[in-house]
Amino acid sequence: MSRLSKKSPSLCTDLPLDNADICKKLDLLRQLLRSCFGPTGRLKQVHNNIGGHVVTTSTSSVLLPAISSSQPFINLIKTSILNHVSRFSDCGLFAAILCLSLIEQAKQSGLRGNVAIRVNKHLLGLCTSYLLGEDCGCKVKLDFCSSQSLITLARSVISSKPACVLTEPETLHISRLAVQAFLLTVPCSSPGIVSLGKIVTVSVEGHGVLNSAVFPGVLLDMPDVFTVDKLENLPSDALRMVLFSASLAGDLSELGDGIIEVHPGVDTDSQILDQLLELGKQVVKDEVKLCVCQKVIHPVLQQYLRGHGIIVVERLGITLMEPLTQLTGAQPVATLHTTIPAKAYGRVRDLRIRTFGSKTMLHLHPPGDCAICTMILCHRNETMLNELKGVCQKTEHVLRLTLREPSALLGGGCTETHLAAYIRHKSMNEIQETVSALGCSQTECLLGVEGFCRSLEAVAAALEHDGGSSLMDLTHAHHWSHPADVLTEHMGDSLGSCGCGIVESSPNQKWTYLNSKYPQFSPAPLSEDASVQPHVLDSFTAKLNALQVAVETANLALDVRYLIQDVN
């Protein structure tokens, strides 16, 4: 009998936000994430003490899972942000920095937790109503008649990931490809419920980013370069193809579960091979020109099929099965013990060989309109390529969100400063009604508003990493960066344009430093000049949800009274 040890009592922490160790860890997490924010954010190298792969990134979806903590309070915030990122792919760092800033401001203000929660919830409602309203001054409509606004949105997502190490022409090139690929996945004429297609991503290491390209259809790895001659002899009309999900390797283990009875003297290998060749004869008889298998094809069967002019592709993998099914209309054949029904065959319009570096690929063109395309991504090394691949997948998701809500928010910190100015002005004008509704004193309400607005401004200020200053103009309430090496008296000449690029500096413009006292004002509407377009945009849907997640998570943290940990 094993020795029984006495169970240790659970560890209980009262008022975790008054605990110096927890507050220190929260501050460290905020500084870590803040330093990653924006196009000039600092990269982080993540690795394990016992070895393994080293990851270089500034992306929240990669960074947060790599941060392990024994502190439940940290894990609560981390899990909440990662849940947002898994659903919307963008604005993870925005949500995390805002959440941690709200907690810090509430603690510094000395407000009671329940008062801070009520004020935050009320101000979140004001922000949400304003952002959803038609008169919102930091929201722009996306024009699907032109790809320019979509390219700007894609470029903003891609340029915010410095680990991709892209030059300006490379960033623009990838942004255009991302939009092109996204548009190819939107069906042109699909009656009823519209189903979006898929983007298949192929990585090519060791080549310049400008060699990246997008092709309609699917590109498959083609190690057999001698099939080029066969392609030239193929007919020009639609070609019949067959797709196997079952293994054609001839292994007994692939026959399924159950008991296999083998009579003495019977050669099972020969019988299985005969069965495979019978399948091959049917494929030849049905005039199939392309045979694709998810798994392995027996070498003898491969030789037989190729001898009859059929192009063979094996080891496709499960990832490409669904796109290939949608592209060709083929139904995957899951067994080799029955004849292949006629409806299982698919069709491709054309086959071509394409070469990218060391990769030789077979390009399958769809027989008609099809929302499947392949993006070939090239980069100089594996680390940059992996980051670029992940960023392009996030960009695709962000672009898809625009189909549900064809709007975007001004980027470069301008939405945050604009919201802060709006909330200050709105709250001051409605202070009596707000105090009455929230059941707190006017002083408490104003402290809560100030903390909320300073938290928004802290997110905008987090975009500056080179020792410069963050400012806000007192007209439109947009965010501006003042370089550290420029004298204050020359500020008007050095600022250029605001963070989103839509407002130019002028001699009569007045600014204030972020997180400083300034007279509250109502942000003036922007000019309706269509020729002036923002240079930086953020996803409306992702940022709105990130705002809600940040405030709700901060409120949840402020509401925690006890932490109970089972240490057994």
DSSP assignment of 349-375 equals SEEEEEEETTEEEEEEEPSS---EEEE
Residues in the chain: 568
The first and second tokens of residue 82, run together, are 């990662």
pLDDT value at position 181? 95
pLDDT value at position 232? 59
C-alpha–C-alpha distance, residues 439 and 114, integer Å: 11
| Domain 11-138+411-565 and domain 218-369 have a common topology | no
End-to-end CA distance of the chain: 20
Q: Report which residue type is found at 166.
A: L
- Sequence-distant (6+) residues with CB within 8 A of 177 are 212, 213, 214, 375
If DSSP codes are grouped into helix, strand and coil, which group holds residue 346?
strand
CATH, range 11-138+411-565:
1.10.560.10
C-alpha–C-alpha distance, residues 160 and 218, integer Å: 29
CA atoms within 13 Å, Cβ hemisphere of 263 = 2
C-alpha–C-alpha distance, residues 333 and 344, integer Å: 7
pLDDT in tens, 183-230: 999 887 766 677 888 999 999 999 999 999 999 999 998 866 555 555
H or E segment to which residue 565 belongs: strand 562-565
C-alpha–C-alpha distance, residues 465 and 468, integer Å: 7
With beta carbons less than 8 A apart as the criterion, state whether 107 and 15 touch: no
Domains of the chain by residue range: 11-138+411-565, 218-369
Q: CA-based angle 237:240:243, to the nearest 5?
A: 145
pLDDT in tens, 330-346: 999 988 778 889 999 99
CATH, range 218-369:
3.50.7.10
C-alpha–C-alpha distance, residues 399 and 8, integer Å: 52
pLDDT value at position 144? 84
Q: Report which residue type is found at 349.
A: R
pLDDT value at position 380? 92
C-alpha–C-alpha distance, residues 330 and 6, integer Å: 62
With beta carbons less than 8 A apart as the criterion, state whether 111 and 451 touch: yes
Q: Residue 174 burial (CB < 10 Å; 0-12/13-18/19+)?
A: buried
DSSP letter, residue 502: -
For 131-147, give the DSSP string.
HHSTT-TTEEE--TTSS
- Spans in the chain with pLDDT lower than 70: 1-4, 51, 190-192, 223-237, 252-268, 486-494, 530-531
**From the CA atom positions of the chain, what is the Rg in Å?**
30
